[in-house]
């Protein structure tokens, strides 16, 4: 009798996934909804939103990390700033830190007030840097998204999705 699918998959560790919603905003960012989707809208300079995550105890390696948002305008490109800070308990909150500008082309369907749910990759920000550890089990991860002066962002940010092994 063949081991079949169960035997083949029993040899591999499962990929797991967690989703954390953005929990607050400042500088004028406010909670907004379109249809059944709700989150924090960033649509003006110096608006900031925040997501707090706890990396599960069974985390071994990062597979994928995405900032999830609902586009509200056709912008080619849409730009926003993503800052990440992570640490273990009893250590400085910015033990590991990274910040980058994200650039994404968005196009609304004609006649619609909102478009697609988008995923913006930010895995690179969470990987090891020279002389620093990457994301680890039991880390506290803070993600800040903002629109800086001169950027053009118009979106409802839903959350952060992390896939791991």
pLDDT at 13: 65
Q: Are 164 and 15 in contact (CB under 8 A)?
A: yes
Which residue, chain included where needed, has tokens 């880390």? Answer: 139
The mean pLDDT of the chain is: 87
pLDDT higher than threshold 90 for residue 150:
no
> 51 in a domain, yes or no?
yes
> 10 in a domain, yes or no?
no
Q: Are 55 and 61 in contact (CB under 8 A)?
A: no
Secondary structure of residue 5 in the 3-state scheme: helix
> 111 in a domain, yes or no?
yes
Average pLDDT over residues 85-106: 88
Name every residue whose Cβ is closer than 8 Å to that of residue 95 and which is 6 or more positions away in sequence. Answer: 85, 86, 87, 88
> 5 in a domain, yes or no?
no
> 6 in a domain, yes or no?
no
Token digits for 42? 């960033």
Angle at 16 between CA 159 and CA 52, to 5 degrees: 30
Average pLDDT over residues 4-9: 56
pLDDT higher than threshold 60 for residue 158:
yes
pLDDT at 12: 66
Distance (Å, whole) CA 82 – CA 91: 22
pLDDT higher than threshold 90 for residue 94:
no
Question: pLDDT tens across 12-67, in order?
Answer: 667 899 999 999 999 999 999 998 999 999 999 999 999 999 999 999 989 999 99
Domain count, the chain: 1
> 3 in a domain, yes or no?
no
Strand 140-147 and strand 75-87: the pairing is antiparallel
Q: Which domain holds residue 30?
A: 15-164
| pTM score of the predicted model | 0.86
What are φ and ψ of residue 46, in 5° steps?
A: 60, 30
Distance (Å, whole) CA 112 – CA 130: 45
> 8 in a domain, yes or no?
no
Distance (Å, whole) CA 60 – CA 164: 7
pLDDT higher than threshold 60 for residue 2:
no
In sign, the C-alpha dihedral spanning 72, 77, 80, 82 is positive
> 87 in a domain, yes or no?
yes
pLDDT higher than threshold 70 for residue 90:
yes
Q: Which residue has the higher pLDDT, 151 or 145?
A: 145
Give the CATH number, domain containing residue 99. 2.60.120.260
């Amino acid at each position: 009798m063949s081991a079949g699918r169960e035997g083949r998959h029993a040899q591999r560790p499962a990929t797991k996934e967690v989703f954390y919603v953005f929990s607050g905003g400042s500088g004028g960012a406010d909670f907004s909804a379109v249809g059944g989707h709700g989150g924090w809208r960033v649509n003006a300079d110096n608006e900031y939103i925040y997501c707090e995550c706890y990396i599960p105890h069974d985390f071994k390696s990062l597979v994928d990390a995405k900032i999830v948002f609902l586009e509200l305008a056709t912008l080619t490109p849409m730009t926003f700033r993503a800052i990440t800070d992570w640490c273990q308990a009893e250590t400085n909150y910015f033990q590991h830190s990274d910040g980058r500008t994200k650039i994404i082309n968005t196009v609304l369907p004609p006649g619609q007030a909102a478009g697609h749910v988008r995923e913006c990759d930010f895995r690179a920000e969470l990987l090891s840097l020279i002389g620093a550890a990457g994301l680890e089990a039991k880390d506290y991860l803070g993600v800040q998204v903002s629109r800086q002066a001169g950027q053009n962002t118009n979106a409802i940010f839903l959350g952060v999705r992390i896939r791991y092994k």
